[in-house]
Amino acid sequence: MIEGLPPSTSLSSGSADPLSLWSACMDRLSQDIPEQQFNTWIRPLSATVAPDASKVVVSVANRFKLDWIRTQYAARITALLEAIQGRPVTLELVLAPREGPSRTSPAPRTAQELVLAELPDLAPPEVIAPSGPKTRLNPALAFSTLVEGSANRMARAAAMHVAGSLGQLYNPLFIYGGVGLGKTHLVHAIGNHLLADRPQAKVLYIHAEQFVSDVVKAYQRKTFDEFKERYHSLDLLLIDDVQFFANKERTQEEFFNAFEALLAKKSHIVLTSDTYPKGLADIHERLVSRFDSGLTVAIEPPELEMRVAILINKAAVENAVMPEEVAFFVAKNVRSNVRELEGALRKILAYSRFNQKEISIALAREALKDLLSIQNRQISVENIQKTVADFYKIKVADMYSKKRPASIARPRQIAMFIAKELTQKSLPEIGELFGGRDHTTVLHAVRKIGAERQQNTELNQQLHVLEQTLKG
């Protein structure tokens, strides 16, 4: 049995020793696949290699992982094995045998322990920041309690930079994304981290509606001197949901004045919204240009691995153990945002406690039956094709035609990417619905658009609009 991640091994032109074949394959996969995906899917695998290296049997922990590895990684693993060996190699995926519990020996590290070990560890440990009426910060919302994934990695990195280098780069920092994706968590984490380092800093977290209310009160009571003293003297202003400033003329005027005053004294401003700056409706152009003058970053719906990590981590906080296969089941069915994931977890934990039953897939399915029935009625590939076709002004028929001009192929790839993100269809099933295309064509589109999304702001904004349209 060959397990774990071996020392670095490069591909060779000749055949490899059976004992080194899987090691060389693992080493190459660790270079090709993002670290979190590798740690979640590939690192836990173990393999048995035939004496003549003609067959590799890979053991997978559970059915969910086995299905995912078969659709996402099996072709790549086979290709690497054959490239290393220099001749055909058969790859077989099997379920690993379940081991009974042991009372005398320590158990192997669970998925929960692995996920918790990967959570960011700020050193020195975070000091609980002052909270309450003065700052309105929630001390529980820290960088160390935020699960990181590709969906929030750039936003988290920018937020940590701001927390450690106030008033320098990325001012303002504008974070946008849908409801329940972690924007508020990030802005609280910035404030808490700053106050842990600089307890005397003047920090205020506020929702945009509270700012509107404060402007109204200042007018009614003629207390604008106090209003300006409060908002113009801050070192860090964290303001949530600035889209609520829409059509509020005087509020926008006062916020513009506060914005300019804070920038002039090199204070920092962090804003959140449900859309990117230029997508804000009924906001003065001069404010939009200020919002867009620093760094704008998106938080996307969490990918599968991140959703699994969130579930296991949140369950641990509740002193509950979330079995890995249950976490995968829930994560595959609840895809929209972190808030819905937490809601699903609360239902499962409550159902488990009230019925005095252990958490299992059957229990999760029963606890979430209403939610799952809604999910199953939701987004279809056909609806995705129509929405994307309308957005890019092409015919729906072009989605499954053999035409290959960029004006058609690009929207088709985007539709394939969204279909993989928002439905439970497998790659072959998606390919079939796009004119009988091979699953490798769909996989190429998913990887291509997914990679470009991280680098191309315009594409990311287009995908954000399409996803929000489809989710209603």
Q: What is the DSSP string of 6-21?
A: -S-----SSPPPHHHH
Cis peptide before 172 (omega within 30 of 0): yes
Q: Which CATH class is domain 143-298?
A: alpha beta
User: Mind listing the pLDDT tens digit for each residue in 388-412?
Assistant: 998 998 988 889 888 788 889 999 9
Residue 343 has pLDDT above 50, yes or no: yes
Which residues belong to CATH 1.10.8.60 in the chain? Answer: 305-376
Tell how strand 55-60 and strand 46-49 pair up.
Answer: antiparallel
Which residues belong to CATH 3.30.300.180 in the chain? Answer: 2-95
Tell me the C-alpha distance between 219 and 60, whole Å: 65
Residue 109 has pLDDT above 70, yes or no: no
pLDDT value at residue 98 = 61
CATH architecture of 381-471: Orthogonal Bundle (1.10)
Structure tokens at 51: 């004496």
pLDDT band at 375 (very low <50, low <70, confident <90, very high): low
Tell me the C-alpha distance between 138 and 242, whole Å: 20
Average confidence (pLDDT) over 87-114:
59
pLDDT value at residue 101 = 42
Average confidence (pLDDT) over 282-293:
91
pLDDT band at 128 (very low <50, low <70, confident <90, very high): very low
Residue 312 has pLDDT above 70, yes or no: yes
Which residues belong to CATH 1.10.1750.10 in the chain? Answer: 381-471
User: Mind listing the pLDDT tens digit for each residue in 164-219?
Assistant: 888 778 899 999 887 778 899 999 999 999 998 888 899 999 999 999 999 999 98
**What beta strand segments (E) does 96-255 contain?**
173-176, 203-207, 236-240
Question: Where is average pLDDT lowest: 10-24, 129-143, 428-442?
Answer: 10-24
Average confidence (pLDDT) over 80-103:
76
Residue 159 has pLDDT above 90, yes or no: yes
Note the CATH number of domain 2-95.
3.30.300.180
Cα–Cα–Cα angle for 43, 153, 315, rounded to 5 degrees: 65
In CATH terms, the fold of domain 305-376 is Helicase, Ruva Protein; domain 3 (1.10.8)
Mean pLDDT estimate for the chain:
82
The string over 85-117, giving b where at least 16 C-beta atoms fall within 10 Å of a residue's C-beta and e elsewhere, is beeebebebeeeeeeeeeeeeeeeeebbebbbe
Residue that is written with structure tokens 């490239």 in the block:
83
Residue 106 has pLDDT above 60, yes or no: no
Which residues belong to CATH 3.40.50.300 in the chain? Answer: 143-298
Residue 304 has pLDDT above 60, yes or no: yes
Residue 119 has pLDDT above 50, yes or no: no
Residue type, 336: S
Average confidence (pLDDT) over 158-169:
86
